[in-house]
Structure 1
Amino acid sequence: MTAEISHAEYESRQNQARDLMAQGDLQALLITDPTNLYYFSGADYFGEMSYPRPAALLIPREGEAGLLTHAFHLAIPWRGDVREYQKVGELPVDMLKELLAEAACESGRIGMELGREQRLGMSHMDFVKIQDALPQAAFVDAADLIWQIRMAKSTAEVAIIQRACEIHDAIFKKVFSAVKAGMTTGEIERLFRLAIAESDADSGWTVVCVGDFDERQAAGSTHPAKVLQAEDLLWVDLGVVLQGYHSDYCRGLVPGTLTKERETLWNQVQEVLLAGMDAVKPGVPVSAVYQAQVRKAQALGLDMQSWKARRFGHGSGLHTTEPPYISGEDQMVLQPGMILHIEPGCIQKDGIYVREEQVVVTQSGCRILSQTPWQLTQPP
């Protein structure tokens, strides 16, 4: 049974936000993005991205939170102050202003999703209306505050992600056992999509690449289709979504003879990954994980500049990629509960040599959540 996010956990997240608001001199946090609404209240607006029926969650520094939502969306796990409206097409500014007034938040600094990797869940014109209706309020960026809370996962969140990885592993095992030379990338992609649909995942995605690196394939397209030959390297990136949380890691397969040169390069990229994994410890800047991989790659003589992700991994959670990012610039300090995807690689004319493992930061290092064997698979 997969863990559920409880009302108490939503309250805890809101209280963490209040603590950070006090440090940043914010009167309130006004949440409108569907992902953040889900995170702080459990209200699921993902299906239609809530464009015609926007919502807003007010978390005041003092007092109870209030959620303004359309009557169409009332299946909400958080049992707080929920207020519904009827009109479709815009957020009712008068009701939002009333909510802010009751919380004594009509003036002062109000944090919103204005910065790094954040989006408002309303039109720009609706935001202007809110600003005009509250001339004494200063709307400021709260992206860092939001990410500070979201990056460190709770026990319940890690349990959901662990289950997503178990489903992910089962899909790789099922599909890789059916892959044969002569199949097209389109046929292989359909096998993965069918396996996702038949699994316990809520949804998922896949990228299927064969042979020479193709920019269109990197963007998620398998068209035009390529035929998998016995000597080819099949590289598949896969992700599943469970209760909003993501798995994401890739694996490789060679249907015919595995050459020594190909196996050596794959194993060397694995050594780079392990160097990064060994560097993962709470209190360490994420850039140290990147530098550990760079040093190992240089020692092995590997050119990682061909890996166009321009980083050696990332975080995840309610998005496939989230902060922190395993790059030389990211100085975010690792904490227990953070989810990392350690992902070094290099691109060759004969295929994509990218390795990826999904781990959770622990008190002493990290624990691997992805359990599909890392070696290049060879069908029987």
Structure 2
Amino acid sequence: MSRRSLHTPAPDAATLRARLHRARQAAADAGTDALLIAPGSDLRYLIGQAGGSFERLTTLVIPAGDAPPALVVPKLEFPGYSDVPTDDLGVDVITWVDGDDPYRLVADRLGKPGRVAVSDMMAALHVLALRDAVAGAEQALAGPVLRELRMRKDAAEIAALRKAGEAIDRVHARMGEWLRAGRTEAQVGADIAAAIVEEGHTEAEFVIVGSGPNGASPHHDVSDRVIEPGDVVVVDIGGPIAEGYNSDSTRTYAVGEPRDADVADTYAVLQRAQQAAVEAVCPGVTAHAVDAAARDIITEAGFGEQFIHRTGHGIGLDVHEEPYIVGGNDLPLEPGMAFSVEPGIYQAGRWGARIEDIVVVTSDGAEPLNTRPHELVVVGS
């Protein structure tokens, strides 16, 4: 019956009020009558508490008009929102108990809207029940509305991302403690996960230790493969700090002298590509252009088919969020946008390499939030 709620630092009420106001205005500008925000990062952004998504409906109703927002929440879950300053935020609280129809409560609050937008990650059982309850209203995704708020980080958000970046850098600085021949990826990964918490995160959100041929799989996890002398190892790690903002950084290591003769030259190409992409970041430059800055170098060196993912993703309360640094995305970059720059080259069945920094767009360029060396770091064999 128990539900865990993380009571972690939240923005002050003035900041949250401003965010709610901007969300209301953004909904109106998008021709949407209301936003229905499920528990998760969007809810945390707007009221300072993420809550949890369960079979019982919890949703923040944000009308585009003058009516106040309302938090519709099961009575037994409401204690998890006790830190939310609902009175200061002007948010009504509507609790319900088992046997009530929460979807009807939402419908009654909305009246007869023509168009409502639901959280991108709202559970289908709630989306479909709301569709039935708010009959006649067009349903859309809230993501395109809220991304306009969340993409541009304020000073406090950037400070939190900087703190997260420093914490994950401290973990990478310790890699020689754990990464060596004779240990399995899983053993190394367990030590890294513990260090992620030790160095200031609330948890290890992900730990990738891709040794030898496993490094050619960008989203490899960990396995029982025993790390061998000469292996190239991709280590991609991150997690949230108490403020909710995430780290995400990748470095590539060699366990002793690399076994494959082509590692040095190929890795040098990757270094040039990653540096070129970071240097391309500037207000007004498109996400497409940053992707191209890395991709063109890798392609010209003959590895285009071995670079099999986008160059980067936005980061904040989610590890992956807008903006996405990918070909075809003509979004102009603006100060305050934060994202990864992480090209990779993957030699299937042999080895892979990736270099990843989080950067924030400044008034005239980019501030990298990760400062560990980009060279191929050799650790003890």
279-288 vs 76-85, greater mean Cα deviation: 76-85
Residue by residue over 1:59-99, the C-alpha shift from the partner in whole angstroms, topping out at 9 and shown as x without a partner, is: 12233222112232223434332424243598612322343
Residue 258 of structure 1: CA displacement? 5.0
- Quote the residue 1:83 is aligned against: 93
Structure-to-structure mapping, 1:32-111, within 5 angstroms = 32-45=38-51, 49-63=52-66, 64-71=68-75, 72=77, 73-79=80-86, 80=89, 81-87=91-97, 92-101=102-111, 106-111=112-117
2:249 is aligned with 1:249: yes
Residue by residue over 1:165-207, the C-alpha shift from the partner in whole angstroms, topping out at 9 and shown as x without a partner, is: 1111111122333422222212111111221233321111201
Change over 3 Å in CA distance of 1:84–1:26 after alignment to 2 = closer
Residue 279 of structure 1: CA displacement? 1.4
Q: Quick check: 1:20–1:145 contact (8 Å CA) kept in 2?
A: yes
Q: Quick check: 1:213–1:347 contact (8 Å CA) kept in 2?
A: no
Change over 3 Å in CA distance of 1:232–1:127 after alignment to 2 = closer
Change over 3 Å in CA distance of 1:159–1:93 after alignment to 2 = same
11-20 vs 92-101, greater mean Cα deviation: 92-101
Structure 2 unmatched ranges of 5 or more: 1-7
- State the SS of the aligned residue for 1:213: helix
Residue 14 of structure 1: CA displacement? 1.7
Q: Quick check: 2:215–2:232 contact (8 Å CA) kept in 1?
A: no
Q: Quick check: 2:196–2:238 contact (8 Å CA) kept in 1?
A: no
Q: Quick check: 2:276–2:293 contact (8 Å CA) kept in 1?
A: yes
- Quote the residue 2:5 is aligned against: none
Q: Quick check: 2:276–2:294 contact (8 Å CA) kept in 1?
A: yes
- Quote the residue 1:286 is aligned against: 287
Q: Quick check: 1:196–1:240 contact (8 Å CA) kept in 2?
A: yes
69-78 vs 229-238, greater mean Cα deviation: 69-78
Q: Give the AA of the match of 1:319.
A: D
Alignment partners' CA distance in 1, 2:161 and 2:99: 34
- State the SS of the aligned residue for 1:57: strand
Residue by residue over 1:16-42, the C-alpha shift from the partner in whole angstroms, topping out at 9 and shown as x without a partner, is: 222322322222222125221112112
- State the SS of the aligned residue for 2:31: coil
- Quote the residue 2:4 is aligned against: none
Q: Quick check: 1:3–1:159 contact (8 Å CA) kept in 2?
A: no
Q: Quick check: 2:359–2:369 contact (8 Å CA) kept in 1?
A: yes
Structure-to-structure mapping, 1:113-192, within 5 angstroms = 113=119, 118-120=120-122, 122-124=123-125, 126-135=126-135, 137-192=137-192
- State the SS of the aligned residue for 2:305: helix
Change over 3 Å in CA distance of 1:374–1:132 after alignment to 2 = same
TM-score (norm. length: structure 2) = 0.86
Q: Give the AA of the match of 1:112.
A: V
Q: Give the AA of the match of 2:121.
A: R
Q: Quick check: 1:297–1:303 contact (8 Å CA) kept in 2?
A: yes
Residue by residue over 1:122-177, the C-alpha shift from the partner in whole angstroms, topping out at 9 and shown as x without a partner, is: 443x4344334333543333321111211111111111111111111111122333
Q: Quick check: 1:110–1:137 contact (8 Å CA) kept in 2?
A: yes
Alignment partners' CA distance in 1, 2:207 and 2:269: 25
Change over 3 Å in CA distance of 1:89–1:209 after alignment to 2 = farther
Structure 1 unmatched ranges of 5 or more: none
Alignment partners' CA distance in 2, 1:350 and 1:141: 42
Residue 111 of structure 1: CA displacement? 2.4
Structure-to-structure mapping, 1:26-37, within 5 angstroms = 26-37=32-43
CA RMSD of superposed structures (Å): 2.5
Identical-pair percentage: 26
Change over 3 Å in CA distance of 1:87–1:304 after alignment to 2 = farther
Alignment partners' CA distance in 2, 1:268 and 1:219: 21
Alignment partners' CA distance in 2, 1:3 and 1:67: 20
Residue 358 of structure 1: CA displacement? 0.8
Residue 3 of structure 1: CA displacement? 7.6
Alignment partners' CA distance in 2, 1:183 and 1:129: 50
Q: Quick check: 2:184–2:226 contact (8 Å CA) kept in 1?
A: yes
Alignment partners' CA distance in 1, 2:238 and 2:163: 12
Residue 274 of structure 1: CA displacement? 1.3
Q: Quick check: 1:52–1:89 contact (8 Å CA) kept in 2?
A: no
Q: Quick check: 2:235–2:251 contact (8 Å CA) kept in 1?
A: yes
Alignment partners' CA distance in 2, 1:252 and 1:230: 15
- State the SS of the aligned residue for 2:226: coil
201-210 vs 85-94, greater mean Cα deviation: 85-94
Q: Quick check: 2:313–2:323 contact (8 Å CA) kept in 1?
A: yes
Alignment partners' CA distance in 1, 2:92 and 2:83: 9
TM-score (norm. length: structure 1) = 0.86
Structure-to-structure mapping, 1:348-367, within 5 angstroms = 348=347, 349-367=349-367
332-341 vs 27-36, greater mean Cα deviation: 27-36
